[in-house]
């Protein structure tokens, strides 16, 4: 049976086609669907194995990033979404999708799924559009492999993670729910340049997130949200420095679409879903 993926979109979503393509390349049967189809009950979440919230500006972010769609889902689809998650099926939220999952409270998924963290305006006050390095911090998520370093771009103005209570950070660390952190290029960009231990500082940490947190998972590990865009690094040719790599242009041009750092996230998700 094929793995069925729902890529949920609304007015303002603009990374749905790229996310759809990523899952299709990974071997899934992916479908773009407007949120209205779920809210009206014309379609059901339980038709799918993976739910993806892609990036963009859902409903124009008019009331804040991800706010309108999160409120719609909370009011009309909350129980269906919680059952989907509790069944062990996978959910990924990228950029605006991460903002939606945070506002819904399913990330980090503590205290009865109330909202305990937020993604607020970047410390720079700017829309940050740059490539970043991520260090994976958890071994609990089927999307990730602990210790790997991934490179992919960010494109957001509200990506600075803050917590309602600082004690929550210790809970997230203890639970292994800090999925990935922004990382510097080397020792010269290490913790000594950051504001807290482990933070490489700006611009490696593009938004000023607490402890350089770039992504979170829920306690079970099957819900993953991150601010960077893995769907924008599916092939090594997508990387701006590909011409400088030792294996040369010819080999890169001959390679397929499954060698970028971001592709591995989608590939792992599809492989995991096949075994559910």
Instruction: Report the number of distinct structural domains present in the chain.
Output: 1
pLDDT in tens, 165-175: 889 999 999 99
pLDDT score recorded for residue 247: 61
**pTM: predicted TM-score of the whole model, two decimal places:** 0.93
Judged against a pLDDT cut of 80, whether residue 194 lies above it is answered with no
Give the span between the Cα atoms of 19 and 6, in whole angstroms: 10
Q: Is residue 202 part of a domain?
A: no
pLDDT score recorded for residue 192: 35
For range 254-275, the mean pLDDT: 88
Give the chain's mean pLDDT: 91
Tell me the sheet residues that pair with 117: 163
Q: Is residue 223 part of a domain?
A: yes
pLDDT score recorded for residue 246: 58
Judged against a pLDDT cut of 60, whether residue 258 lies above it is answered with yes
Note if 229 is an active site residue.
Answer: yes
Note if 95 is an active site residue.
Answer: yes
pLDDT in tens, 81-132: 999 999 999 999 999 999 999 999 999 998 778 899 999 999 999 999 999 9
CATH number of the domain within which 82 lies: 3.40.50.880
**What DSSP string describes 62-106?**
BTBTTHHHHHHHHHHSHHHHHHHHHTT-EEEEETHHHHHHHHHTT
pLDDT in tens, 220-236: 999 999 999 999 999 88
pLDDT score recorded for residue 191: 38
pLDDT in tens, 120-129: 999 999 999 9
Residue 3 is given by DSSP the state: P
Of residues 151, 158, 231, 267, which has the active-site annotation?
Answer: 231
Q: Is residue 196 part of a domain?
A: no
pLDDT score recorded for residue 257: 64
**pLDDT band for position 248 (50/70/90)?**
low
Of residues 128, 137, 151, 229, which has the active-site annotation?
Answer: 229
Q: Is residue 204 part of a domain?
A: no
**Angle made by CA atoms 205, 135, 197, in degrees to the nearest 5:** 55
For 39, other C-beta atoms within 10 Å of its C-beta total: 15
Percent of the chain whose pLDDT exceeds 90: 79
Q: Is residue 129 part of a domain?
A: yes
With H, G, I as helix, E, B as strand and everything else as coil, classify residue 31: strand
**Angle made by CA atoms 98, 47, 82, in degrees to the nearest 5:** 45
Note if 272 is an active site residue.
Answer: no
Give the span between the Cα atoms of 177 and 211, in whole angstroms: 13
**pLDDT band for position 193 (50/70/90)?**
very low
Domain interval for residue 264: 4-183+212-274
Of residues 95, 158, 180, 267, which has the active-site annotation?
Answer: 95
């Amino acid at each position: 049976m094929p793995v069925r993926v729902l890529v949920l979109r609304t007015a303002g979503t603009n990374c749905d086609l790229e996310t759809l393509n990523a899952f299709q390349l990974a071997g899934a049967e992916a479908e773009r669907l407007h949120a209205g189809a779920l809210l009206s009950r014309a379609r059901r979440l339980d038709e799918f194995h993976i739910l993806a919230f892609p990036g963009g500006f859902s409903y124009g972010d008019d009331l804040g990033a991800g706010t309108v769609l999160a409120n719609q889902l909370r009011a009309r689809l909350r129980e269906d979404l919680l059952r989907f998650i509790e069944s062990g099926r996978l959910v990924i939220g990228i950029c605006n999708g991460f903002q939606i999952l945070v506002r819904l409270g399913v990330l980090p998924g503590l205290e009865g799924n109330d909202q305990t963290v937020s993604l607020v305006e970047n410390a720079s006050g700017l829309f940050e559009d740059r490539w970043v390095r991520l260090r994976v911090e958890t071994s609990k998520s089927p999307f990730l492999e602990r210790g790997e370093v991934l490179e992919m771009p960010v494109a957001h103005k509200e990506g600075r993670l803050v917590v309602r209570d600082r004690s929550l950070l210790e809970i997230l660390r203890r639970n292994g729910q800090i999925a990935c952190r922004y990382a510097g290029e080397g020792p010269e960009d290490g913790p000594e340049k950051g504001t807290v231990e482990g933070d490489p500082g700006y611009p490696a940490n593009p938004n000023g997130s607490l402890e350089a947190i770039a992504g979170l998972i829920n306690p079970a590990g099957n819900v993953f949200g991150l601010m960077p865009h893995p769907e924008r690094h599916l092939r090594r040719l997508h990387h701006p420095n590909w011409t400088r790599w030792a294996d040369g242009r010819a080999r890169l041009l001959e390679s397929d679409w499954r060698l970028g750092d971001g592709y591995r996230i989608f590939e792992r998700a599809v492989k995991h879903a096949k075994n559910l």
